[in-house]
Amino acid sequence: MLGGLLALLLVVIVMGGTGYYFFFAGNDGIRPGQLITQVASRGPFDHIVLEQGEIESSSNTEIVCEVKARGSSMGGVAILWVIDEGTKVKKGDKLVELDSSELELRLKEQKIQVITAEARVTTAKALVEQAKISRQEYLEGVFKTQEKALLSTKAIAEQNLRKAKLAIQSSERLVAKGLVKSLQLEADRFAVANAQNQLDGADGELQVLRNLTKQKMLVQFDSDIEAATASLSAVESELREEQLELAEITEQIEKCVMYAPSEGVVVHANRYSSRGGSAEFVVEAGATVRERQAIIQLPDPSLMQVKCKVNESRITLIEAGMPAKISVDAIPGMRLTGRVIKVNRYAEPSSFFSSSIKEYATIIEVIDPPDNIRTGMTAEVQIFVEQLEDALQIPIQGLYEHGSEMFTLVQRGPQEFDTVKVEIGATNDTMASISTGLSEQDRVVLNLRDHLTLMDLPAVIGEDNSAMRKLGAERPVATAAGPSDGVAPEADAPGGERRGERRGGRPGGPDEAGGRPGGGGPGGGGGDVNTMVTRMFERLDTDGNGTISADEISAMDSERSGMVSAADADGDGNVTRAEMLQGIRQRMSEGGGPR
């Protein structure tokens, strides 16, 4: 009897559960617990953009290399010693010591050059003084001596002329008395003429000396003085250059030891590659630095900021002046306030391994930064794009995008649902503010994708592309020789076919040879295949030598390595560009098509 009662009780439980299920589930099979709902409510709403960034100082004192390593074969100067990163330093503390051995050798050679230049200057100065003394010697000595000699000669000639004239007068009286013959008178006349000629010659020499010879000699002496002065200027200029070079080398040796210009915490200016994060330059003993290359940074701890990269889909929401909340990962519980001070207009450079999505650098100033934050720390930044005091809001899981519109599913009763079109104001990571479509206390379904059959969505109206079709019909048709003049003949193809149509298929579709639109069939598509091979080599030829080696093939996945190995026509284990082109064209001719 007890067994019968248990069986009856089991039947009642099964029938009750079945009735309960059909009562609540109805024809749609909705049971309590399947739906996740939440009531739309009003309250403060914050539209937040959340990003990760890195703390840095907006005022960094950079310690750069100022040593010119012109004679170095490595194109730089080696670091002999560098202070440890993170060390707190005071003004005047030693930070870096560079190798100055080469400069010290040049210093010794330059000192010899300076001494030689000084000797040349001394010689040039002596030549200038000699030229000046020679000019003075001529004016005050040689010229006056020559002038007095000619004046004496002229005086003698004048005396002789007077004697000759007296003699001729005496001869004329004696000839008149018949005491002297006329021959004597003729001789006295020749004596007067000779004395006159001697006087004229002496006077001419004196005039030439005073007016011509003197000027000629002065021009020569002045020229000698100017030439000696020019030589002196040249060797003095050489001396100054050698002295400047000596002073520069001395200064360069002094700059090989760098000291802290102010207090701060040492940060090594290591540089990392944008291709994969590997270090291109690490500040350490033995590393080589170039002129003007940063070695150490001393950030100002009172001026801190966060630099983060914002996705291009959200960068248009951010403007300078927006408030921000900052959390530092290394210090749990720390919450800092900030303000957006700069939004870059140009995207950050992308690397070989990065995606095509662009990111824009955004700088957030930290207001009243504490002393315990350091540059390089990771920070989470919440940028408050919009803040609403009273907004109707629901979780973003309650939204469903259909076409270009947003819908939500509102539960009116246990088995009664309405599909409501809504307009969204602002969103954050969890909630969305609703402008129109919902009312307060409306209960929306959050797990919509599990219950899409409950939604009554309108038909999606296709986009009107008639203008594009019209524009495409008007484009010029390209010929083998080049683009046409804009008139597309209706029957130019062999067999009277229209351009753009292929035999045995719709316009633009595959032809009988198994080709593809755009010339991908046999014998065609040379330009597309070349582009394809170029892109493949950019990705697969990691060392950039123009050949995909066996090591590069072994690093690929099995499917890709098999495809590349199949193109190795000569079987040497390496695949050249020509082999890859031939392999892809052969695969396309066999109907396989390129991967």
- DSSP class per residue in 61-79: EEEE-----TT-TTSSEEE
Q: Please state the pTM of the whole predicted model.
A: 0.51
Return the structure tokens found at 360: 């824009």
Residue 31, pLDDT score: 61
Which residues lie below 8 Å from residue 182, measured CB to CB, with a gap of 6+?
Answer: 175
Q: What is the mean pLDDT of residues 240-249?
A: 96
Structural contact between residues 267 and 274, judged by C-beta atoms closer than 8 angstroms: no
* Percent of the chain scoring above 90 in pLDDT: 46
Which H or E run includes 343? strand 335-343
Which H or E run includes 308? strand 304-311
Q: What is the mean pLDDT of the chain?
A: 81
DSSP strands (E only) in 2-156 = 37-39, 41-57, 60-64, 77-82, 88-89, 94-98
Residue 592, pLDDT score: 47
pLDDT tens for residues 257-283? 999 998 888 989 988 765 555 568 899
Which of 232-241, 263-272, 375-384 is modeled with the greatest confidence?
232-241
Residue 595 pLDDT class (50, 70, 90 cuts): very low
Residue 501, pLDDT score: 39
Q: What is the mean pLDDT of residues 282-299?
A: 92
Domains defined along the chain, listed by start: 35-59+301-459 (2.40.30.170), 63-99+257-299 (2.40.50.100), 103-255 (1.10.287), 488-514 (no CATH), 518-595 (1.10.238.10)
Tokens 């002393």 label which residue?
371
> How far, in Å, CA of 443 to CA of 40, rounded?
6
